[in-house]
Amino acid sequence: MTSERPDTRPDVHADTRASDAEREQVAERLREAVAEGRLDMEEFDERLGAAYKARTHGELVPLVRDLPAPGTTTDVALAPERGSGWADRIGRGPATSKGAFAFWGGFRRKGTWTVGRKFTAAVFQAGGEIDLRDARFEAPDVVIRCFAFMGGVHVTVPPDMDVEVRGFGFMGGFGETGEARETDGTDRTDETSVGSGSPRVIVTGFALMGGVGVERKARESEKRRLKEERKRQKLERKQGESERKQERRERKELG
């Protein structure tokens, strides 16, 4: 396989006919690049289509010239991606919110916000939303107290967060509303294990003729990654079908 790799030096063997193995090798490098975030999906689609249509090395080389060789890294010191782990989200600053209250209305805590080590939410004939998927935490141990009277509080957490629900409901409900699922509805039980360094969140309180629900749900960034992955797979299947049709036409012409 290595011997068939197209030479990426400019003007070397540019007119040499490319093989199926070389086209597939370039396609694989493009898949790795989009998975690493070096290419967006639009660039990936364009380059992958060109790779499978390429007839010479000169057409293949420009498609991967600006990408590092497989298994190598650059010398640029890259900072950790924001939100990529728990360490950069715990104890990085004071709480931006320690409580919320709603009466005949509603409240929302969502996006990038810092949860106090003790957070109290109360609703009366109202609703509240507490989303912890992109939140930061004042301390590694957080207690969220929810009190719902003829209303409801919905708490959303990522699949890998350490959460314990201790509340009580009277003529109502208090507990987890379901397990994390893929955006296509399939179970994700293999990804619901607690992540390393996760804060410990205890959800407690009381619901009277109302409800408090805790739901595990994937982050928006994860949903986008899954969407892009499905798009890539769909493109590959479509490209493969096109290749097979072309092969059948060529065999028919030769026959």
To the question of pTM greater than 0.95 for the whole model, the response is no
Cα(151)–Cα(209) distance, integer angstroms: 7
Average pLDDT of the segment spanning 143-150:
94
- Neighbour-count burial for 17-35, b at 16+ CB within 10 Å, e otherwise: ebeeebbebbbebbeebbe
pLDDT at 120 over 90: yes
Q: Report how far residue 12's alpha carbon sits from residue 83's, in angstroms, rounded to the nearest whole number.
A: 44
Sheet containing 211-216, strands listed edge to edge, beginning at the edge strand earlier in sequence: 106-109, 127-131, 152-157, 211-216, 173-178
> Which tokens in the block code for residue 105?
């209305």
pLDDT at residue 169 tops 50: yes
What three-state secondary structure class fits 245? helix
* Amino acid 149: pLDDT: 94
Q: Which helix (H) or strand (E) holds 62?
A: helix 57-64
Determine the average pLDDT of the residues in 163-168: 89
pLDDT in tens, 24-51: 888 888 888 877 778 888 888 888 888 8
What is the predicted pLDDT for the residue at 71? Answer: 55
Query: Residue 180: which pLDDT band, with cuts at 50, 70 and 90?
Result: very low
- Mean pLDDT of all residues in 48-60: 88
Nearest CA among 97, 78, 9 for reference residue 38: 78
Note the pLDDT of residue 202: 92
Considering only CA atoms, which of 186, 164, 184, 182 is closest in space to residue 174? 164
| Gap between the Cα atoms of 49 and 44, Å rounded | 8
Percent of the chain with pLDDT over 90: 25
In the predicted model, is pLDDT for residue 144 greater than 90? Answer: yes
Residue 70 has a pLDDT of 60
Rounded distance, CA 121 to CA 99, Å? 5
